[in-house]
Chains A and B, each alone.
Chain A
Amino acid sequence: MKNRNFSKELEKRLNSEEIALPESLSAESIENFIRENGEILSPKRRKPPIKNRIIKFTAAAAAVFTILIGIAAILNTSINHYELKKQDNIVAQKTEDSDYSEVENVILSYFKNYYNDNYGNKNLYNNFLNNVTSSSKDHSAENGVPTLDESADTLAGSGSYSTTNLQVKDADEGDIIKNDGKYLYYIGNNKIYINDCRKPENMQTVSKIEFKTENGTEYYPREMYLYGGKMVVVLDKQTDSPDYNEYTTVFNGAAMSDCIAYVIPNDIEIRIYDISDKSNPKLENSFAVNGSYLASRIIGGKLLTVSNYHIPYSGCGMNTFGKSCDALKKVDIPRYSVNGGEDKKVSSDRIKIVNEDEPSNYIVTSLISLDNPESEPILDASLCSGQEIYCTDGNLFIAESECSYWYRGETHYVTDDRNINFSTVTHIYKYDITDEGVLYKAAATVGGICINRFSMDKSGDTFRIATCGAYADKTETDGETVSVEIQEDFSMVYTLDNDMKIIGYLGEIAKGENMQAARFMGDTLYLVTFYRTDPLFVIDLSDKTKPVIKGELKIPGFSSYLHPVGNNLVIGIGTGGDADGADNSAKISLFDVSEPENPKETDNYTVGNAYFNSNHKAFMTVDSNTFGISMIESYYNNAHDYCEDYSVLLMDFSKEGLTLRGKYKTAEYDENDSEKNSTVIDVIRGAFIGNTVFVVNENGIAAYSMTDNSKTGEIKF
């Protein structure tokens, strides 16, 4: 204890000593220094001009370009204010149509400007070296399509067992841990472990699937599903760029005009295994789709995947515009492949041009029938991009943010559909999920950013979204720097109709604070904002045109995840604190919202120097009065060594309060194995079957009895 407190004190002292940065170490001096002395090794290819604009702006002006929370990802997408195709219908699909001229013209005209900006008047040789990447695409094939075992195990389980905490009831979500009541499936150490947990004292890993690098392509399992005797795995598929030196040789040996340079996009891959024999999972089908993984769901027997395919303009620069266009043609349409076969382009009549002025990205969706995986997947693409998705069983909503900025003497403001200037806005694209595919329907723009998928909700015909943002005003300059003036952050709620028209708005909630969590339950929205203390807002949405704040509760700390548990109670998982702000403690709050005008925190459970896994999937419902959550707690032991405890807590609750039922630790770490003795919160998960609770992480599984909290078994991976 002494050392820990002292450590904090020392940190304060060391950080508070007055130290003046010498002139030789100022950013400007360093810039000159490295320019004179440094040459970068193996420089990478340039990115599209949009980023250049932002960089020039910020670098040239050392500007105060204020960007809101969570925006780092946003600047990977277009930032010009563009006209969206707000509403449109897609006619019935044909699959044989191969006329891509419309979308290709849009892309080409964008590429013209891009080419001139980056390659127009410069030394093409140097540019080429900076832009060279791989020249071949290689899908390694997985062979063998065994027949489906007719007696495939259905998801049986005597008694209850844990299931994935879903946002929407009929839209199943992938997870790193799955449970069928007998076996626990877990993604860890880049492998999938299938474990027989029927007898906790005798648990066994019955099979293990490893995902190794194949031909320079790396595979990382992200999430999996259990569906009708099958295991569906979603993987990141990444192909490394080849060695820079390799390319100078190739370049020197070949005529420049013959060199093709384009980037291998990252893909997602879906693998479907037959797990009727748990000790011998058999790969049956695989699909690869262009794009980096955004999300997936299983709805009505179909796997829906959503990915962002970024058009690799920067990889297409060559000595002539004509040659560059040839290179671009190879990558301007998203592709997919089935069972490692040849690449197929998404059919042209299934491509929707949403963002015509800045066509830098496609949202690519695939629908794969799991009941009939031999059938061709349905691929759709729309020229726009996304960061968060919300999926009901009939609709897909994708949210993308865009910022106001200043460039070359002009301010470009973004506005919501009411024409109010904001510092950032969110575009929401609505799709219908049908048997014919994922069809783009309409779009809307609202102010602020969408912090996560729980900020979105659909009830009946009304779409609701809670965002956090600020108004943007005029630019200001002090002669040296220019900035887009923004005001204080606040939270807001928009309601929209079926055609994505704004019908209601409530704004300027909690000015000066940041949104931490949101949760819609029927006609009520619970909102958590935080600056120093945590107002929990209860917002009534029963009049869809007039969202209204019913009640507010200010408490220390804040919740990152809200989970309504019935009986007018809401559990908040988050961080503790005092009147001055948040601290290092983990806190569970029990809110009583039976009186919306007067929400109360009936009880809380706090652990010092700890934090919870606030990902919604880590929240495990055991029964109507018990839930589990993973936790990492740090402390100093008797020998003053820094230690961490990894565990799952089971909490009982009632209207009266919270009680700890038990704290269950992960499988024991070998003290002498310094390589492998720490972990991260995201991979620590709880599960239960009947009366046994399991704590799983990449180290293994520990089993405990829920009756007397005794440890009943353990296996190590």
Chain B
Amino acid sequence: MKHDIENLVSEAQTGNSKAFAEIYGFYAEGLYRFALYFTGNSADAEDCVQDAVLSAFKNIASLKKASSFKSWIFKILSNVCREKLKNPADRLSSAPIHEIRENAVSDNYASDAPLSAEIKEALGMLQPDERQIVLLSVIGRYKSGEIAKLMNMTSGSVRSKLSRSLKKLRDILQ
């Protein structure tokens, strides 16, 4: 099924919430999946998606190209997720790998997320910004230049963090 994003975006830009919800529907699962991997628990993931979607709806009139809708809303979502994790209660351990492996992974991350134990452990191992880069790159398929703009970094930093993070994940998952 192909859908007419351009028309739906135009409609949404006049304030039509039904049209907006329609577009949202195409990406709902991907958005939740992203937030779930990022935050590690379904309650936070739900909050993040709702916040991101609300923010997107409020600002949709500023979206210039309908075809950018997906990357635009993922950008909003990833920033919302980051903000969520800044809350001290959610902060993950930043101990080096071998220590983390021996100790329990942060409770918040492991809690009720319906993910396999291995994935939870692996993603929990990363710093929030590393996790954001990996998810944007691997799930969002963003290029390093785009991630750099999104996260206010240089693409060189993005590439080196991505490379380090992938290596960390590889150590655990392979």
Contacts and interface: CB of A to CB of B under 8 A. Distances in A.
A708 interface: no
Interface stretch (B80-88, B89-97, B101-109, B157-165): B157-165
A33 B50 contact: yes
Given A14-B37, A43-B61, A67 B159 contact: no
Contact of B163 (A14, A67, A641): A641
B8 A19 contact: no
Given A27-B24, A40-B61, A58 B42 contact: no
Nearest to A24: B46
Nearest to A12: B138
Contacts of B119: 13-14, 17
A72 interface: yes
Contact of A71 (B1, B2, B24, B115): B2
Contacts of A52: 11
A20 B28 CA distance: 11
Interface in B9-30: 10-22, 24-25, 28-29
B62 A42 contact: yes
A62 B14 contact: no
Given A22-B32, A67-B2, A55 B163 contact: no
B4 A19 contact: no
Contacts of A639: 163
B25 to A, nearest CB: 3
B138 to A, nearest CB: 5
Interface residues of A, number: 65
Interface in A17-57: 17-22, 24-28, 30-31, 33-35, 37-47, 51-52, 54-55
A674 B42 contact: no
A599 to B, nearest CB: 31
A75 B6 contact: yes
A642 interface: yes
A6 B169 contact: yes
Interface string B39-79: 00010001001100110011111100000000000000000
B21 to A, nearest CB: 3
A65 B4 CA distance: 10
B174 A43 contact: no
Contacts of A27: 21-22, 24-25, 28
Interface residues of B, number: 69
Contacts of B148: 674
Nearest to B146: A678
A76 interface: yes
Contacts of A24: 46, 50
Contacts of A18: 114
B77 to A, nearest CB: 12
B166 interface: yes
A680 to B, nearest CB: 10
B2 A25 contact: no
Interface in A345-399: none
A69 interface: yes
A6 B114 CA distance: 23
Contact of B25 (A17, A19, A62, A69): A62
Contact of A28 (B10, B20, B21, B116): B21
Contact of B59 (A33, A41, A68): A41
A55 B57 contact: no
B98 interface: no
A25 B6 CA distance: 23
Contacts of B24: 27, 30
A596 to B, nearest CB: 34
A7 interface: yes
B108 to A, nearest CB: 18
Nearest to B155: A674
Contacts of B137: 7
Given A25-B49, A58-B4, A71-B2, A38 B163 contact: no
B17 A67 contact: no
B7 A642 contact: no
Contact of A15 (B16, B36, B139): B139
A39 B58 contact: yes
Contacts of B57: 34, 38, 40
B144 interface: yes
A10 interface: yes
A59 B58 contact: no
Contacts of A678: 143-145, 155
Contacts of B37: 14
B169 to A, nearest CB: 6
Contact of A34 (B21, B114, B159, B162): B21
A145 interface: no
B61 A44 contact: yes
A360 to B, nearest CB: 14
Contacts of A567: none
Interface centre among A7, A45, A639 (most CB of B within 10 A): A7
Contact of B7 (A17, A31, A54): A54
A418 interface: no
A557 B160 CA distance: 33
Contact of A75 (B7, B33, B50): B7
B4 A72 contact: yes
B136 to A, nearest CB: 12
Nearest to A130: B14
Contact of A19 (B114, B135, B162): B114
A30 B28 contact: yes
B21 A30 contact: yes
A45 B14 contact: yes
Nearest to A60: B18
Given A18-B114, A25-B46, A2 B159 contact: no
A166 interface: no
Given A2-B170, A674-B148, A62 B138 contact: no
Contacts of A58: 3-4, 8, 22
A190 interface: no
A3 B2 contact: no
A538 to B, nearest CB: 30
Contact of B166 (A6, A51, A66): A6
26 contacts: A3-B163, A6-B169, A7-B138, A13-B173, A17-B33, A17-B115, A25-B28, A28-B21, A30-B24, A30-B25, A31-B18, A34-B17, A40-B61, A41-B59, A43-B13, A46-B14, A47-B7, A52-B11, A54-B4, A55-B8, A62-B22, A67-B4, A72-B2, A674-B148, A677-B145, A677-B155
Interface of A: 2-3, 6-7, 10-11, 13-15, 17-22, 24-28, 30-31, 33-35, 37-47, 51-52, 54-55, 58-60, 62, 64-69, 71-73, 75-76, 130, 636, 639-642, 671, 674, 677-678
- Report the 3 A-B pairs with minimum CB-CB distance, sorted nearest first: A27-B25, A31-B21, A674-B154
Interface of B: 1-8, 10-22, 24-25, 28-29, 31-33, 36-37, 42, 46, 49-50, 53-54, 57-62, 114-116, 119, 134-135, 137-139, 143-145, 148, 154-157, 159-160, 162-163, 166-167, 169-170, 173-174
